Structure 1
Amino acid sequence: MNSNSEKTSRQTSRGGDWKSFLALIRRAKPAYSMFAVALALSLINTVVSLLVPLFTKDLVDGFSLNSLQGFQIALIAGAFVVQTVAGAFSIYLFNQFGQRILRGLRDLIWSKLLGLPVSHYDKNETGAMISRVTNDTNVIKQVVSDQLSGFITGIISIIGSVVILLSLDWRMTLVLLIAVPLTMAILVPLGKRMYTISKGMQEETANFTSVLQQVLSEIRLVKSSGSEPVEYKRGISGIGNLFKLGIREAKIQALIAPLMGLVVMMLLVVVIGYGGLRVSSGALSAGELVAFILYLIQIIMPLGQITGFLTQLQKAMGASDNLIVTLALEEERFDSGPSVPSVDKPIVLDHLTFEYEGTDEAVLKGVSFTIAPGKVTALVGPSGSGKTTLFSLLERYYEPTSGRILYGDADPIDNYSLSSWRSQIGYVSQESPLMAGTIRENITYGLNREVSDGQLREVARMAYAEGFIDELPQGFDTQVGERGMKLSGGQRQRIAIARALLRNPRILMLDEATSSLDSKSEVVVQEALDNLMQGRTTLVIAHRLSTVVDADQLVFMDKGVVTGQGTHEQLVATHELYREFAAQQLRYRDQSTSSQ
């Protein structure tokens, strides 16, 4: 997605838009029936609580304990039981309602992150994306499950109390209503400040999460480079920024509580003072004054809940902006288009040009050549010539700036569904990344079908991995550690080759698959690769020419341009730069061999 689209998305969600916030909640598919039941139970709880002051008024004005009958005591006890049970179940259901929304939001964001193109991750740090899934969604959940129930019951309690108070004495009630504009004058400006701070808090949390993710995932590099002091400073900087924002948030919360307390105390003084005068004049009974005070408490207590809800809501609005922007990003369309036909065809690169977003220089410039089906095509040339970028275009991680990649003579590869095209490709890279888990899970990674032990052992044998796997304590169920660090480089390569064999791809892409191995491991891995390459359309990147001199076709690339193609013998005879390249590489190999 281009930067203009991202800018538009941010503008759309800017300012805590209520419509966008509610639309986001609806996308999480909330359980409306559960919400309705929880709300009904809250209403029952609140209505029962509103009857207690009326009973107290009658008791003060004339009732005595001796005049109470059994059914009245049972009625009062039953009301308290109903209030307790209804309150407990409503809180539970509201929390479950919030948890379901949290699950729905995380489902949406996780699906979106997996569907975003590689180009998005080139521009955005993964730690920030992780923060969207964990921190931002949790802020919204807290509003819905922890604060919403208190807000709704508080509103009901305040409205019910005011209605009853108006029926008891409208003059006294009007005195109470003076608190409304005072409360709004406090909450509105502080709420706006809280929204601004919340936005900063979410962004800084995302940045800090990104630093943690980068450092901890590359902890070996940090330690081998002696960079602990540098990374400590980076972490402390993020911690300090979060601390400053937390202090600003604490200042606002420190203002809200005392100011609301001041309003409450003023109301109590006014009600007791003015109410005492009304009682002494006979306009108000003592029981009615007691009821007024009890209803005032029922108004004051929800004010704290409402204040907490509005404060947390501002945080949630800030978090929702980030989620809305992320959800508006354009995804890859995995299943758009027909499947790749089950016929081996040549792959034709037709005047292919590509430059990364935000750069001014093309990495590939008018690249044209044909990858013959069932043959081995090797890309050779100095570093920075665009070989790996070409692989990325073939995998459809990026779209060409201009030109086309055809499957056959006329069909652009982007006509086929993305999932179908990528399923045709087996990829073995220099790093051969593994996921944390067992060897079995890594070999079968990405397959949507059951794999028997026999199939697993067969691909391991063809990848020359069966021997070292059997020597491990748990065999195929051995844990490989984060990124496969419990295995050697050669072992990781052979696991990757076994994975590719199990996928049975028609197109094979090898990105310097043996360049980082020692000579002994290289021999074993090269034999495994030979098994993998049989009968497949193979494209190889190799810095070491010795591994590809027997390829059916070599394509020499320099600074994004194809400067020659043919067999090794043809290029030696016709291409001066390749001849120099080959002489240097092969001479170095001969010297290395003789020294051994």
Structure 2
Amino acid sequence: MNNNKEKASFKKFINLIKSTNVKKGLFFTGVLLTLIGTAGSLIVPLLTQMFIDGFNTDLITMPLVILITGVFLGSAVIDGISYYMLAKIGQTVVRSLREMVWAKFLKLPVSYFDKTKSGESVSRVVNDTSIIQNLITSHFPQLISGVLSVAGSVIILFFLDWKLTLIMFVSLPISIAVIMPLGSRMQKVSKKLQDETAAFTGAIQETLSEIRLMKSFNAENYEQQKGNRGIGQLYKYGMKEAVINALLSPIMYTIMMFVIILVIGYGGLRVADGTMTIGTLVAFLLYLFQIIMPMTMFAMFFTEYNKALGATGRIMGILEMGDEKSGSLEDVSLAYKTLQFNNVSFGYEDTPVLENISFTAKNNQKIAFVGPSGSGKSTIFSLIERYYSVWSGSITIDNIGIENIPLSEYRSGIGYVAQESAIISGTIKDNITYGLKAGEYTDEDIERAVKQSYTSEFIDELPDGILTEVGERGVKLSGGQRQRIGIARAFLRNPQILMLDEATASLDSQSEKYVGEALNDLMAGRTVLVIAHRLSTIVNSDKIYFIDSGQLTGEGTHIELMASHDMYRAFTEQQFGED
């Protein structure tokens, strides 16, 4: 996948955050409050120094106690408010990112999803954005307060005792030497982990969506082994992350403890010879702790930042992909009177499927496509739906190239009933009205569609009627019931062009009777394109096209083809029996 190979940089990360239209005012207010809160925490060691060096019970007055308490409480409250504001920005950014990625997925062409498992796409929306969310919401506010705390402490320490401060800086090059290579390694490991997470998510989603297939063929052991391999890969990369973190924390802790020992040792000598007060040494240690804690956090931030760069690369890879092409014409008024294929050639990747296909379908005509499996019949329907762009030739509606017509307007006039109608989770009503906005239909329209599709034959027997939940992919419904819901959906859209892809091929005789009657009603007065395996659905077609290996080898009525086309006659006798 291209998005997996996308390399990210700090600039791309910032550009990605900017694209979410982050509220700068809220951000800078949060930073300002963090600065104020940090300034409050920086005053406490100075007060402690003054208190120790000039200890006198007479100094312990109520105003001083109130001042110290107020500084503590005020600093804590301001820190809490600033953290909330920065966290809100992080949550807002991630929400916008998820909305952007989700909207992008809905605009990508079908060819992308042909090559990408749905679980991998889900991982981009959920897992990758969660990594960025974790960085912005949890680590970034700590980074800001940490930077301010370290900067302020260092400045004050130089004023307190510049010699002791220089000793403290011994740890800086050592820390950088440790963090940089470990951070680089973490970025690589994190990328691998996220890629494996996406692949694993896709695999288990595919397995669970076809749970009946798995159980029917006793494939539990196979799927368990496949799943365990994916889990093993996740474990392997998870442990590599753990090793890096396990090295990072104790190394940083050791470095800091070494610095503390140096400071205490050298500071103790200075106190002993009278060149430093005890209060100054205590204040120095308090400031040192205000530096040590953020420094440890900086190491964690750097590893999380490298993770976020990997996630940014994948998200940017998605956002930079080309959208499904829409037409440039405006105010197009389509009558859908004539659909034409003009020398159309097409294939998937580098494999040709159709070659120089030409035909015309007019309003109130029924056009059938017949031929061996894999000959390209369903591909013709995919091209009409504009799932793909033709290699050469053109497809027109009313002499207008379909690629020039706005997609939403073009597809609104097309209805499609597949061999197995797609059903979404929700109610029967949700499925019938799927894709339509409120106001584009009435309850009377739904009732009419239900009646015309013979869906009422089983809906009326359900306790909740049309509000019955159908389950994931319609598992609570029979094949015939799902087909009738699909036909009701087509009736409600009232399409000008109706495409039927073997719509009755997998039904029992009773279901076929209901579905067949519904289809006959639905086909009236429309341009109808049919892919059929049953003789009864094609003998009365206005024209039949025989497709063989992607080529149109014959056309005519059933009687004409039986008389003139040897392959059609043989195919008909083999597939349907003689009529």
For the aligned pair, the TM-score class normalised by the smaller chain equals: over 0.9
Aligned match for 2:420, one of 431, 450, 455: 431
How far the C-alpha of 1:342 sits from its partner, in A, is 3.5
Structure 1 CA distance for aligned equivalents of residues 457 and 400 of structure 2 = 43
Q: Does 1:395 align with 2:376?
A: no
Structure 1: give runs of 5+ residues left out of the alignment: 591-596
Q: Does 1:364 align with 2:354?
A: yes
Q: Does 1:286 align with 2:275?
A: no
Amino acid at match of 1:455: D
How far the C-alpha of 1:27 sits from its partner, in A, is 1.5
Structure 1 residues 197 and 65 mapped into 2: Cα distance closer, same or farther (>3 Å)?
A: farther
Q: Does 1:449 align with 2:438?
A: yes
- Could you tell which deviates more after superposition, 507-516 or 372-381? 372-381
- Could you tell which deviates more after superposition, 211-220 or 79-88? 79-88
How far the C-alpha of 1:10 sits from its partner, in A, is 6.6
Indicate if the aligned counterparts of 2:364 and 2:527 stay in contact, CA closer than 8 A: yes
Indicate if the aligned counterparts of 1:168 and 1:288 stay in contact, CA closer than 8 A: yes
Aligned match for 1:231, one of 209, 223, 234: 223
Residue by residue over 1:176-206, the C-alpha shift from the partner in whole angstroms, topping out at 9 and shown as x without a partner, is 1111111111101110000010110110000
- Could you tell which deviates more after superposition, 527-536 or 338-347? 338-347
Indicate if the aligned counterparts of 2:327 and 2:403 stay in contact, CA closer than 8 A: no
Structure 1 residues 324 and 586 mapped into 2: Cα distance closer, same or farther (>3 Å)?
A: closer
Aligned match for 1:416, one of 385, 405, 414: 405
Partner of 1:594: none
SS of alignment partner, residue 355 of structure 1? strand
Structure 2 CA distance for aligned equivalents of residues 226 and 336 of structure 1 = 52
How far the C-alpha of 1:336 sits from its partner, in A, is 3.6
Structure 2 CA distance for aligned equivalents of residues 229 and 128 of structure 1 = 24
TM-score, L = length of structure 2 = 0.97
Partner of 1:32: 24
Residue by residue over 1:461-488, the C-alpha shift from the partner in whole angstroms, topping out at 9 and shown as x without a partner, is 0001112101101001000111111111
Indicate if the aligned counterparts of 1:50 and 1:161 stay in contact, CA closer than 8 A: yes
Partner of 2:336: 344
Aligned match for 2:134, one of 132, 142, 147: 142
How far the C-alpha of 1:326 sits from its partner, in A, is 1.1
Indicate if the aligned counterparts of 1:382 and 1:543 stay in contact, CA closer than 8 A: no
Partner of 1:102: 94
Aligned match for 1:465, one of 432, 455, 470: 455
Residue by residue over 1:396-420, the C-alpha shift from the partner in whole angstroms, topping out at 9 and shown as x without a partner, is 0001111111123x42111111111
How far the C-alpha of 1:340 sits from its partner, in A, is 4.4
Structure 1 CA distance for aligned equivalents of residues 573 and 44 of structure 2 = 98
| Residue pairs, 1:168-567, within 5 angstroms | 168-334=160-326, 336-338=328-330, 340-359=332-351, 362-408=352-398, 410-450=399-439, 451-567=441-557
SS of alignment partner, residue 342 of structure 2? strand
SS of alignment partner, residue 42 of structure 2? helix
Amino acid at match of 2:364: G
Indicate if the aligned counterparts of 2:541 and 2:557 stay in contact, CA closer than 8 A: yes
Structure 2 CA distance for aligned equivalents of residues 336 and 24 of structure 1 = 28
Amino acid at match of 1:539: L
Amino acid at match of 1:399: S
Structure 1 residues 86 and 565 mapped into 2: Cα distance closer, same or farther (>3 Å)?
A: same
Structure 1 CA distance for aligned equivalents of residues 57 and 364 of structure 2 = 99
How far the C-alpha of 1:580 sits from its partner, in A, is 2.0
Structure 2 CA distance for aligned equivalents of residues 339 and 106 of structure 1 = 33
TM-score, L = length of structure 1 = 0.95
SS of alignment partner, residue 25 of structure 1? helix
Amino acid at match of 1:320: T
Amino acid at match of 1:504: N
Structure 1 CA distance for aligned equivalents of residues 48 and 19 of structure 2 = 47
Structure 2 CA distance for aligned equivalents of residues 10 and 518 of structure 1 = 46
Structure 1 residues 49 and 60 mapped into 2: Cα distance closer, same or farther (>3 Å)?
A: same
How far the C-alpha of 1:586 sits from its partner, in A, is 4.3
Indicate if the aligned counterparts of 1:336 and 1:418 stay in contact, CA closer than 8 A: no
Amino acid at match of 1:546: S
Structure 2: give runs of 5+ residues left out of the alignment: none
Amino acid at match of 2:534: R
How far the C-alpha of 1:24 sits from its partner, in A, is 1.0
Structure 1 CA distance for aligned equivalents of residues 327 and 96 of structure 2 = 23
Structure 1 residues 370 and 474 mapped into 2: Cα distance closer, same or farther (>3 Å)?
A: same
Indicate if the aligned counterparts of 1:380 and 1:545 stay in contact, CA closer than 8 A: no
Indicate if the aligned counterparts of 2:326 and 2:405 stay in contact, CA closer than 8 A: no
Aligned match for 2:76, one of 77, 84, 91: 84
- Could you tell which deviates more after superposition, 314-323 or 70-79? 70-79
Give 4+ residue runs of structure 1 displaced > 4 Å after superposition.
none
Structure 1 CA distance for aligned equivalents of residues 394 and 199 of structure 2 = 38
Identity over aligned pairs, percent: 47
- Could you tell which deviates more after superposition, 527-536 or 450-459? 450-459
Residue by residue over 1:311-352, the C-alpha shift from the partner in whole angstroms, topping out at 9 and shown as x without a partner, is 111111111111111111111144643354242321111111
How far the C-alpha of 1:570 sits from its partner, in A, is 1.4
Structure 2 CA distance for aligned equivalents of residues 248 and 427 of structure 1 = 50
Structure 1 residues 484 and 178 mapped into 2: Cα distance closer, same or farther (>3 Å)?
A: same
Indicate if the aligned counterparts of 1:347 and 1:405 stay in contact, CA closer than 8 A: yes
How far the C-alpha of 1:453 sits from its partner, in A, is 2.4
Indicate if the aligned counterparts of 1:335 and 1:419 stay in contact, CA closer than 8 A: no
How far the C-alpha of 1:455 sits from its partner, in A, is 1.7
Amino acid at match of 1:223: K
How far the C-alpha of 1:62 sits from its partner, in A, is 1.0
